[in-house]
Chain A
Amino acid sequence: MIRHIVRKEFMDVVRDGRFRWCAALVGALLLVSLGTGWVQARNAQKELAAAQATARDHWESQGEKNPHSAAHYGVYAFKPRLALSFVDEGVDSYTGTSVFLEAHRQNDFLLRPAQDATPAQRIGALTAAQVLQHLVPLLIILLTFGALAGERERGTLRQLLATGVGRLELAMGKALGATAALALLLVPAAVVGAAAIVMGSPGPATSPLVRGAVLAGIYLAYFATFIGLSLAVSARAPSARAALVVLLAIWVVNGLVAPRVAVDLSKWLYPTPSAIEFAHTLEQEMANGVEGVDRPDRAAVTQNLLAQYGVERTEDLPINAIGVFLQESEVFGDQIFDRNYGALWDTFKRQGYVHEALAVTAPLLAVRTLSMGLAGTDVEQHRHFAAAAEQYRRDLVERLNGELTENSRTGEVYLASADLWSQMPPFRYDAPEVSWVLKNRALSLLMLGLWLAGAFVVVTYAVRRAEVA
């Protein structure tokens, strides 16, 4: 019996001109955004990789130089576009692309692509992820709002039930029919997406296919939630029109209102400092230290070294005292940076939790978080990259200070040979594992799970209670 229902639903939908138009539009947008996303991500990644290689060239061809001068000369790190960023661009346009790694300072990421874009791009950016998050649910609503309410209005619901089909069976048939129709556009998109990943992903990533598969699962759960909700509303609404109105209201809250309310709520609960306050605090703490973290004193460092080596004059030290002092200053600075930047990142993280928690009102928030996470384009993975770049900076500066300390005496003008620079390891970034992402995003997984389960319960209840006429 259920096979007949599924078949009938599917044929109904596919023969409906309105659905054909909508599905063609959404399907085309999905394929186009996948394609253009892939091309753009690949071009961007090529350019970033080239810039990273050039930065390394510059570093290696410094010539004879004092190691500390080299640390000031520094090196740039460029954030790579990860393999799945073509599916979901996430916050990539709003985080910087590049960071300057130098002695004494942790710098901000610069070059946010959005800053160069027009305001039109802020309302009209469309990635495959946005088609999946916003437009497919709308399509689901159009497919299913009349599924039960329409049958009731036409008086065919009574007939149907009279044939002996169970209510749940009927609802299941309707759901599967809609799913089959949706598959017409989702399966090709999934195939194209998978092919894009296999054929040559734009950038590096750990296990892109696994990420892609989990991503597909997440979206399927999201669509199933919408099908469930839509059928439930259709079962209980007084008319098909009323069902449509309610469902559209849900769609607006889910896609437009809740995300922006989450922004305000997160800023209200966990305010970020203004840029000028942040810079001011950092400057103050760097100059004066804070409780428990004191600025190293050059004279004291020298005294300690003299005592340690049992000599009277700095010239007699077997090492360069300035190198030791520089390194102690680095350690001091790093603590200050960790305090300030750490606090800022933690604020961002808490703000992110607010977005995730608000998923109780809108499943989109959970799906968006998971989607960006799996694509490697969320704030947490930006932080992951920033932390890797910063660690590289610290290691590099420490090694250079070590070169200065070990190979020269205090007060001596020391130039390291030109081949020292290529001995420093180049910057390499390993994107986090899928498990890391999912663990970070457990709240969203839970929320999506709750929505899916909730939709199932609600649709079962609503269909059982649905009035026949």
Chain B
Amino acid sequence: MQTKTTKTILLNEWRLLAADRTLRIVLPLFIVLFAYALANGMAWVRFQEYTVQVVREGNVQRTEGLERELTAIQNGAQPSSPFRDPRNANVMGGRRGARAVALDPGPLTALAVGQSDLLPYYYDVSIYTNETTFLQNGEVENPLNLMVGRFDLAFVAIYLLPLLVLAMGFNVLSGEREQGTLALTLSQPVSARRFVTAKLAFRAILVLAAAIGVSLIGILISGGFGSTGPLGRVLLWCAALTVYALFWFALTAWVNSLGRSSSWNATVLVGAWLVLVVVLPAAINIAAGLLHPLPSRVEMITAQREASNDAVNRRSELLARYLEDHPELTGGDATDEPNRAALAWAATDAVNQRLEEVSERHRMGRDEQNELIRRYRFFSPALLVQELLIDAAGTGDARFARFQSQVRAYAGQWQSFFVPAILAGEKMSADVLPTLPGFNFVDESLGDVGQRATVPLSALIILVGLVGTGAWVGLGKVRGAG
């Protein structure tokens, strides 16, 4: 009996919706917006994939160039320039032989551009890689376009999807009352709870089918299923979308249960959207900026200047200290007459250490601010879902930070390879090239992503639970008459 009633409601809803002019316009409009957003995201992925390919090809060309010249020198030719002699360890390990490392676009970048238009996704690694390397800009992009942001699926989902939900449901109960059909409906063996739930569930299926359908098509077309472990990411993406949409449906149900007019519902729901999606994230950011202002990077430049001035003046002293600190690097026989490259390296190392200190202080300041934002983000479902969506897509901060830290480690390996040779004044040959350390990005495992997602996803689910309970209780009090 109960399921049959639900079926009847659903069937009637379908007929009603099919006849509703507004929805006939709004829903297809949304599918168009979704598709447009997807096309946009896919164009961006293609651009990034192409760039990554160019970056990697550059490595091959650079290595080939070095190999040619080294072989020629071995056969008696002169180096092209004494400053660029690839036999010197500080040239082969320096800018001339630098190894470019690139991060493949996140598995679902086509769905959420996230931070990928802003943060650098490839670096040149050499013995000169230090903290300033990570200050470089990302892709060439008009600052105006960066400020506005992309029209991607995540944008449509965060900002526009709630509006679609509100438009579909704001009068789900109040409309019936205003038409005078509510008393009649509730005189049937159906409760207001069941009635509203069925009506909203029907709409939720429509909205989610559109949102998730377009997402899946996008993932299929962009070949996302092919690469490593994206299935979990896809599930997380769909789960985040679903829970977020459910939050707005639950809120719609709750507001409807209060028994006010349709226009009151509409105003309140739009107000709620404004507060949760626009005002609260802004307020949280303003608070974070006031309580824990982000330390500026300007200090880094001054520190670098001062450290290198200082280091240049004290090169010999620094080298002596460096060798004392790293006896293993000299192979036991400390050279009495340090070569110029060794002196230069000692200065570079001193500057790097100072930069690491400054950078560490900056990172701590940044973490404090993030901590505050993380604590208060629970108030805004928009912030929670944004975090989930871009994290699922692999375009959030975490994946970029992971890339950066692996590049840092790789730069360390690169230095360990070349520095002993620089200190010993050892010459390099073409045989060294294949033995150079390589870079392999170890991408996040599903566990990493899942672990990060647990808190925001649970928080969203709890929000849905709270609002849903409110709606449940409220709907229980709804009577047809009066």
Q: Which residues of A contact B (CB under 8 A)?
A: 18, 22, 25, 29, 32-33, 36, 39-40, 43-44, 47-48, 51, 54-55, 58, 76, 78, 90-91, 93-98, 108-126, 130, 134-135, 138, 142, 240-241, 244-245, 248, 252, 256-257, 259-264, 266-267, 272-278, 344, 347-348, 351-352, 355, 378-379, 382
Residues of chain B from 119 to 174 with CB closer than 8 A to chain A in the complex? 119, 122, 135-151, 155, 158-160, 163, 167
Can you pick out 24 interface pairs between chain A and chain B where the beta carbons lie within 8 Å of each other? A29-B283, A39-B290, A51-B299, A55-B305, A90-B147, A94-B143, A98-B301, A108-B137, A111-B135, A114-B146, A115-B119, A116-B366, A117-B294, A119-B386, A119-B390, A123-B386, A130-B282, A241-B266, A248-B270, A263-B145, A267-B145, A274-B51, A275-B138, A348-B144
Task: Kindly list 18 other residue pairs between chains A and B, CB separation below 8 angstroms, not including A47-B296, A241-B263, A272-B140.
Answer: A29-B282, A36-B290, A55-B302, A97-B296, A108-B137, A118-B369, A119-B390, A119-B397, A122-B115, A123-B383, A124-B282, A124-B285, A125-B282, A135-B278, A240-B263, A244-B266, A275-B137, A348-B144
A257→B163 CA distance, assembly (Å): 13
CB distance from A329 to the nearest CB of B (A): 16
Shortest Cβ distance from A51 into B: residue: B298
The answer to whether B145 and A351 have CB atoms under 8 Å apart is yes
The answer to whether B289 and A36 have CB atoms under 8 Å apart is yes
Which of B33, B148, B281 has the most chain A CB atoms inside 10 A of its CB?
B148
A-B complex: 4 closest residue pairs judged by Cβ atoms: A124-B281, A126-B282, A91-B143, A260-B151
Shortest Cβ distance from A89 into B: residue: B147
The answer to whether A58 and B270 have CB atoms under 8 Å apart is no
CB distance from A81 to the nearest CB of B (A): 11
Shortest Cβ distance from B396 into A: residue: A119
The answer to whether A272 and B387 have CB atoms under 8 Å apart is no
Contacts of B54 in A (CB 8 A): 274, 276-277
Contacts of B280 in A (CB 8 A): 124
Which of B50, B141, B293, B298 has the most chain A CB atoms inside 10 A of its CB?
B298
A352→B383 CA distance, assembly (Å): 29
Residue among B143, B306, B396 making CB contact with A379, cutoff 8 Å: B143
The answer to whether A115 and B145 have CB atoms under 8 Å apart is no
Contacts of B281 in A (CB 8 A): 120, 123-124
Residue among A18, A109, A241, A272 making CB contact with B142, cutoff 8 Å: A272
Contact with A along B258-300 (1 / 0, CB 8 A): 0000110011001100110011111111100110011011111
Asked whether B40 is an interface residue with its Cβ less than 8 Å from the other chain, the reply is yes
Asked whether B47 is an interface residue with its Cβ less than 8 Å from the other chain, the reply is yes
The answer to whether B296 and A274 have CB atoms under 8 Å apart is no
Residue among B22, B147, B369 making CB contact with A94, cutoff 8 Å: B147
A348→B141 CA distance, assembly (Å): 8
Residue among B143, B147, B284, B306 making CB contact with A124, cutoff 8 Å: B284
Shortest Cβ distance from A270 into B: residue: B142
CB distance from B61 to the nearest CB of A (A): 11
Contacts of B167 in A (CB 8 A): 245
CB distance from B255 to the nearest CB of A (A): 14
Asked whether B181 is an interface residue with its Cβ less than 8 Å from the other chain, the reply is no
Residues of chain B from 412 to 464 with CB closer than 8 A to chain A in the complex? none
Shortest Cβ distance from A350 into B: residue: B142
Contacts of A274 in B (CB 8 A): 47, 50-51, 54, 139-140
A114→B148 CA distance, assembly (Å): 12
Shortest Cβ distance from B277 into A: residue: A123
Which of B58, B115, B142, B280 has the most chain A CB atoms inside 10 A of its CB?
B142
CB distance from A277 to the nearest CB of B (A): 8
Contacts of A55 in B (CB 8 A): 301-302, 305
Shortest Cβ distance from A244 into B: residue: B266
Contacts of A248 in B (CB 8 A): 163, 270
A278→B140 CA distance, assembly (Å): 8
CB distance from B405 to the nearest CB of A (A): 16
Residue among A32, A48, A355 making CB contact with B144, cutoff 8 Å: A355
Shortest Cβ distance from B395 into A: residue: A119
CB distance from B31 to the nearest CB of A (A): 15
A217→B395 CA distance, assembly (Å): 41
| Consensus secondary structure, chain A interface | helix
Contacts of B105 in A (CB 8 A): none
Shortest Cβ distance from A256 into B: residue: B159
The answer to whether B386 and A351 have CB atoms under 8 Å apart is no
Asked whether B373 is an interface residue with its Cβ less than 8 Å from the other chain, the reply is yes
Which of B159, B270, B285, B386 has the most chain A CB atoms inside 10 A of its CB?
B285
A278→B302 CA distance, assembly (Å): 28
The answer to whether A260 and B148 have CB atoms under 8 Å apart is yes
The answer to whether B137 and A112 have CB atoms under 8 Å apart is yes
A179→B320 CA distance, assembly (Å): 75
Contacts of B115 in A (CB 8 A): 119, 122
Which of A97, A124, A277, A348 has the most chain B CB atoms inside 10 A of its CB?
A124
CB distance from A61 to the nearest CB of B (A): 9
Interface residues on B, range: 35 or more
Contacts of B148 in A (CB 8 A): 259-260, 262-263
Contacts of A124 in B (CB 8 A): 280-282, 284-285, 383
The answer to whether B305 and A97 have CB atoms under 8 Å apart is no
Given that A90-B147, A260-B155 are contacting pairs, would A379 and B267 also be in contact in the complex, using a CB cutoff of 8 Å?
no
Which of B149, B279, B370 has the most chain A CB atoms inside 10 A of its CB?
B279
A244→B263 CA distance, assembly (Å): 9
A277→B122 CA distance, assembly (Å): 13
The answer to whether B387 and A93 have CB atoms under 8 Å apart is no
Asked whether B309 is an interface residue with its Cβ less than 8 Å from the other chain, the reply is yes
The answer to whether A252 and B136 have CB atoms under 8 Å apart is no
The answer to whether A78 and B298 have CB atoms under 8 Å apart is yes
The answer to whether A352 and B263 have CB atoms under 8 Å apart is no
A118→B159 CA distance, assembly (Å): 18
Residue among B136, B279, B285, B301 making CB contact with A125, cutoff 8 Å: B285
A135→B270 CA distance, assembly (Å): 12
CB distance from B191 to the nearest CB of A (A): 28
A444→B40 CA distance, assembly (Å): 26
CB distance from B286 to the nearest CB of A (A): 6
Asked whether B118 is an interface residue with its Cβ less than 8 Å from the other chain, the reply is yes
CB distance from A31 to the nearest CB of B (A): 12
Contacts of A261 in B (CB 8 A): 151
Contacts of A78 in B (CB 8 A): 298
The answer to whether B298 and A123 have CB atoms under 8 Å apart is no
The answer to whether A142 and B267 have CB atoms under 8 Å apart is yes
Residue among A33, A76, A252 making CB contact with B163, cutoff 8 Å: A252
The answer to whether A119 and B138 have CB atoms under 8 Å apart is no
The answer to whether B377 and A120 have CB atoms under 8 Å apart is yes
The answer to whether A118 and B297 have CB atoms under 8 Å apart is no
Asked whether B114 is an interface residue with its Cβ less than 8 Å from the other chain, the reply is yes
A123→B58 CA distance, assembly (Å): 36
Contacts of B142 in A (CB 8 A): 266-267, 272, 347-348, 351-352, 379
A299→B151 CA distance, assembly (Å): 55
The answer to whether A241 and B262 have CB atoms under 8 Å apart is yes
Contacts of B40 in A (CB 8 A): 264
Contacts of A115 in B (CB 8 A): 118-119, 137-138
The answer to whether A118 and B305 have CB atoms under 8 Å apart is no
Asked whether B38 is an interface residue with its Cβ less than 8 Å from the other chain, the reply is no
CB distance from A276 to the nearest CB of B (A): 6
A459→B138 CA distance, assembly (Å): 47
Residue among B137, B147, B151, B383 making CB contact with A96, cutoff 8 Å: B137
CB distance from A73 to the nearest CB of B (A): 9
Contact with A along B349-382 (1 / 0, CB 8 A): 0000000000000100010011001000100001
The answer to whether B301 and A51 have CB atoms under 8 Å apart is yes
Residues of chain B from 77 to 130 with CB closer than 8 A to chain A in the complex? 114-115, 118-119, 122
Shortest Cβ distance from A380 into B: residue: B144
Asked whether B55 is an interface residue with its Cβ less than 8 Å from the other chain, the reply is yes
Given that A123-B281, A123-B383, A273-B140 are contacting pairs, would A22 and B301 also be in contact in the complex, using a CB cutoff of 8 Å?
no
Shortest Cβ distance from A262 into B: residue: B148
CB distance from A455 to the nearest CB of B (A): 22
CB distance from A22 to the nearest CB of B (A): 7
The answer to whether A120 and B160 have CB atoms under 8 Å apart is no
Contacts of A118 in B (CB 8 A): 369-370, 373, 397
